[in-house]
Amino acid sequence: MSGAEAFVTILGLGVITVLTRSFFFLSRNELPLPGWLKQGLRYAPLAALAAVVVPEVVMTQGALIHTWQDARLFAVAAGSAWFWWRRGILGTIVSGSVVLLALRLGLGW
């Protein structure tokens, strides 16, 4: 790809990004959304988070993990237990990270 093609590609992607992200701000009136769509959009952040996190936890190199001796599984269990017990995001992150680090450094998982 030449420099000019790269520039045009980057410029085009930038324009598309600005247009799609500012679509709701360009209208002077609020766009009416049906109730079922508003209800469904409440779950969009959770669905997006699950779509990113779950494959990272259960897959390695594009294949499902084949052993229970994976630090990620125990880190997820520790983080989930903390969240169930205390309902705190920071504690969930810290507890999962501590278990992950301890198993990776301590046992070499």
- Predicted model pTM: 0.62
How far is 45 from 38, CA to CA, in rounded Å?
A: 13
For the ranges 5-9, 54-58, 87-91, the one whose mean pLDDT is highest:
5-9
Report the share of the chain in percent with pLDDT over 90: 70
Q: What are the sequence ranges of the domains in the chain?
A: 1-32
Q: Provide the mean pLDDT of the chain.
A: 92
How far is 31 from 44, CA to CA, in rounded Å?
A: 19
